[in-house]
Amino acid sequence: MTARAFTGLRVVLVAAFNRRYHRSGLALGAALEGLGCEVRRCEERRRGWNALFGRSLPARLAACLRAGPVDVVLVFKGASLAPADVAELRQRCGGHWVNWFPDDPHQLELSTRLAPAYDRFFTHDSSSLARHRAAGARAHYLAFGCDPEFLRPPPPPPPRPSDARWAAPLVFVGSRDDVREPVLRELAAVGLVSWGPGWPRGPLYGEDFVRALAGAAVGVNIHQQFGDRGDPARYGTGANMRVFELAAVGTPQLSDAKVDIARHFTPDREIVLYRSVAELVDRARVLLADDTLRRQLAVAARERALREHTWRHRLEELLTVTLR
């Protein structure tokens, strides 16, 4: 299908909408509108008046569906939307029901319970597909994407004085946990700066998140459960959002070699991969010593991200699969 085929498509989007933190929901809504869809938003989280009056997600979604006919109901995770609720609402309101689940394989028990309730189920982790299909789901692989309007390279030099806090040889932005911490500790001697929940510098939101990614010479990506302390059963193959975010920002990336990454970026031309902590440290030193290589990686990765890996690209694929 072409993007024109989606003009006027009535979509109810169930996701978390928050400019400070949950930006993916807003980006998905904007991408759907960019494809010509008519989008109604249903907040996944219980907040504001919904929290005050105890309105559950099924009740909120039912109210949203009553507002008019719907062609597609797209749920981004929807952990609190039980299969029985989906079945009841589908029968009452019709439409194609789709779940795009962002937390495989870390929450595989939850996703395999939810997946069969939908007409289509999408996961960013290809290793989880067999489990979903065995559970009765019509499951498909769909990678994450990026929002190029939000994730932009820094302005041309000279930088403003206020940008100095973001300058770093290496940056990691992500949660601190017992698995990642010993891996990141090995990079302390080469100038690693860490941001996120649990780290001394704390979490980052909005433009500060972009500034931190863009201000470093190299962005370090460590997927959950990588390393000696990780659980192989929960590691999986899927590329996390940071793979696409760093590419869009234009920061050369050093990531653990998740299998699905090579579907989307060419190793050693658009991204540098490592398979052990020792290789991570060695490749970090090589990248920091080679300005030309870093520039080449950054330019190539950003061009690929904008050409193939925006949220609009992903939703065009999702809708094409859903409606065929």
Q: Which residues pair with 110 in a beta bridge?
A: none
Q: What pLDDT sits at residue 3?
A: 62
Q: How confident is the model at residue 211 (pLDDT cuts 50, 70, 90)?
A: very high
Contact present, 183 and 222 (Cβ < 8 Å)? yes
As a whole number of angstroms, the distance between CA 26 and CA 91 comes to: 28
Contact present, 76 and 44 (Cβ < 8 Å)? yes
Q: What pLDDT sits at residue 17?
A: 92
What percent of the chain is modeled with pLDDT above 70? 93
Q: What pLDDT sits at residue 55?
A: 84
Domains of the chain, first to last: 3-145+310-323 (3.40.50.2000), 161-308 (3.40.50.2000)
Q: What pLDDT sits at residue 47?
A: 65
pLDDT in tens, 122-168: 999 999 999 999 999 999 999 999 999 999 887 655 555 556 889 99
pLDDT in tens, 93-120: 999 999 999 999 999 999 999 999 999 9
Q: What pLDDT sits at residue 153?
A: 85
Average pLDDT of the segment spanning 235-247:
98
Q: pTM of whole model > 0.85?
A: yes
Q: What pLDDT sits at residue 62?
A: 96
Burial of 29 (0-12, 13-18, 19+ CB in 10 A): buried
Q: What pLDDT sits at residue 155?
A: 64
Q: What pLDDT sits at residue 157?
A: 56
Q: What pLDDT sits at residue 310?
A: 98
pLDDT in tens, 16-30: 998 777 689 999 999
The larger pLDDT score, comparing residue 197 to residue 45, is at 197
